[in-house]
Amino acid sequence: MGKRAAKPLIIAIDGPAGSGKSTVSKIVAKRLALLYIDTGAMYRALTLKAMRQGLNLEDEDALVSLAGSTKIGLEEKDKLHVFLDGEDVSLAIRTPGVTANVKYIARVPGVRHEMVALQRLIGQKHCGAVLEGRDIGTVVFPNADYKFYLDASPEVRAKRRCKELIESGQKVSEISVKEDILTRDDSDMKRNVGALKKCDDAIFIDTTGLSIDGVTEKILSYICA
Ligand code: DC
């Protein structure tokens, strides 16, 4: 009888924008030699395509059909690269226009269905993955080996996001970033499918007063216990 492949290790990290989950998820994935999957980048890539095609973002049928005919890929080189039908769109998906429009794409059940299927497929490849998003522990991998929910005060989240955006060359103010974060929290929490919420079996970590290292070590302490 042949050897059975080990079950992939799945780590779900959910939380709102600026909670620290991207930075920490990348480090945790590296430390555990797992894939890092940024699910938000996938919704952003589809948003970019819909915008480029000038689609009516309220037209759910058109968005579902777009999702079904689009190839989204993630590849880790020096950093995570996001591919849209073969084109590297890693920078293009971070513009304020995409950030403002992603809610129209993320709220469509048929679109989420496609994205979730893709996320499950990639997540189960190799030895497993660290997936970060909004609905990983609730929908994508409800049986994940470890589930974490990260949050922080809106002020601290805005500060972090603002720093990231300025470093990537965008001109933003902390006030406008905070407003944007609160608007996105609202649409992420209120949509009918894949809404952002902490599931009962997720470990909650308030990252407000914690450093990146502090959050990373906390997460690893549960996994490596
Ligand atoms: O993580 P992010 O800010 O790059 O995500 C962009 C948007 O994508 C976010 O506002 C909500 C959506 N999203 C989602 O609906 N489900 C996920 N699993 C990840 C992100």
Structural domains in the chain plus CATH codes: 9-214 (3.40.50.300)
Report pLDDT digits (tens) over 3-39: 556 789 999 999 999 999 999 999 999 999 999 999 9
Nearest-CA residue for atom 10 of ligand 1: 184
Per-residue pLDDT band at 208 (split at 50, 70, 90):
very high
CB 133 within 8 A of CB 40: yes
What is the model's pLDDT at position 1?
46
Q: What is the mean pLDDT of the chain?
A: 94
Query: What's the confidence (pLDDT) of residue 3?
Result: 57
Q: Write the burial class of residue 185 (CB in 10 Å: 0-12 exposed, 13-18 middle, 19+ buried).
A: middle
Closest residue CA from atom 7 of ligand 1: 40
Q: Are 189 and 178 in contact (CB under 8 A)?
A: no
What does the alpha-carbon distance between residue 88 and residue 82 come to, in Å, rounded to a whole number? Answer: 6
More confident position, 47 or 78: 47
Q: Structure pTM?
A: 0.94
Q: What's residue 126's pLDDT?
A: 79
| Nearest alpha carbon to residue 98 among 40, 155, 151, 171 | 40
- Best probe residue, ligand 1, of 43, 95, 184, 185 (max atoms within 8 Å of C-beta): 43
Q: Can you tell me the mean pLDDT for 120-125?
A: 92
Mean per-residue pLDDT, 184-194: 94
Residue 74 · residue 37 · CB < 8 Å: yes
